Amino acid sequence: MSSRKDQNAAARMVREQIAREQRRKRTMWISIAAVSALVIAGLIGWAIYAGGKTTDYTAPKGANSAGTGIVSGTGPVVVDEYVDYLCPHCKSFHDEAAASIQQLANDGKITLVTHPVAYLDGASTNRYSTRASAAAGCAAEYGKFTEYTDTLFQNQPAEGGAGPSDDDLIVFGRQVGLGEDFAQCVKDKRFINWTNHVSEEAGRAGVSGTPTVMVNGKPVQASSTAIAAAVAAAAGTTTPSAGTS
């Protein structure tokens, strides 16, 4: 009787040990699966990002040699402005400073490079930032970048909803005298890859938000007075040939 009891106890111990072993194994496999899931998730993100990166682009007419922005003027001091057509602060910056900056370019004091980046695609439901920037590329191709930029900021949609459609963007173009070839360019999405390139290179240049203004490569507050002061200072310290790239 007592020996049977011992046998039972021994059998139970064995069973418990097997159960423990099974549990240990299961925990191990679950852990391996969980770690794999984490690694795969990271790789998926990497793959999607790498797949979306475009190296093949055509810059519109009027772009700088690096293809990262549209040039206006030929002055000695380089002013880079990075704007997103959906960004409210870019609109207020444009309303306040665009005329005086354009004047500096017209007076031959600065070379203005406008980089229409698409940073805020997450802030519209139809990728307005990218489409507006690509349409601005079309406008540059047909010689009306500055006018078209003015119109886009005048018609800036609110963040969070759907921005103007491609058809709307074509109508804005007609308002500043752009024709059928511009309309076709927008429909063909010809400069979407260029927009991606502009955004990518802006990020590489350390631009993490919009609007960002740089005078000869140094960040300057986005206001007409700050820019004018920085341009005056830069003009005083650099020879006319320096600063352009």
Chain contacts with other proteins (rule: CB under 8 A): 12, 15-16, 18-19, 22-23, 26, 30-31, 33-35, 37-38, 41-46, 48-50, 52, 119-123, 199-200, 203-204, 206, 208-209
**Which region holds residue 211: left if phi is over 0, alpha if psi is between -120 and 50, else beta?**
beta
Residue 202 CB, nearest distance to other proteins (Å)?
9
- Closest distance to other proteins from the beta carbon of 53 (Å): 9
Q: In this structure, are residues 115 and 195 in contact, taking their beta carbons and an 8 Å threshold?
A: no
Looking at this protein, which amino acid is placed at residue 191? F
Nearest residue (CB) to other proteins, 127 versus 190: 127
Distance CA 84, CA 18 (A): 64
Taking the complex as a whole, how short is the minimal distance between the CB of residue 44 and other proteins, in angstroms? 5
- Contact indicator for 182, 142 with CB cutoff of 8 Å: yes
Identity of the residue, 84 or 141, whose beta carbon is nearer to other proteins in the bound complex = 84
Q: Indicate the pairing of strand 212-215 with strand 110-116.
A: unpaired
Q: Which is nearer to other proteins, 86 or 178 (CB)?
A: 86
- As measured in angstroms, the least distance from the Cβ of 177 to other proteins is 33
Q: Which residue's CB is nearer to other proteins, number 22 or number 154?
A: 22
Query: Which residues of 119-237 form beta strands (DSSP E)?
Result: 212-215, 218-220
The residue among 38 and 162 lying less far from other proteins, judged by its C-beta, is 38
Q: How far is the CB of 40 from other proteins (least distance, A)?
A: 8
Compute the 3-state secondary structure of the chain and give helix, strand, coil in percent, each to the nearest 5. 60, 10, 30
| Residues ≥6 apart with Cβ < 8 Å to 60 | 70, 137, 138, 140, 141, 191, 194
Contact call for residues 242 and 76 (beta carbons, < 8 A): yes
Q: Which of 77, 148, 141, 150 lies closest to 108, judged by CA? A: 77
Shortest gap between Cβ of 6 and other proteins (angstroms)? 15
Cβ proximity to other proteins: between 166 and 201 the closer is 201
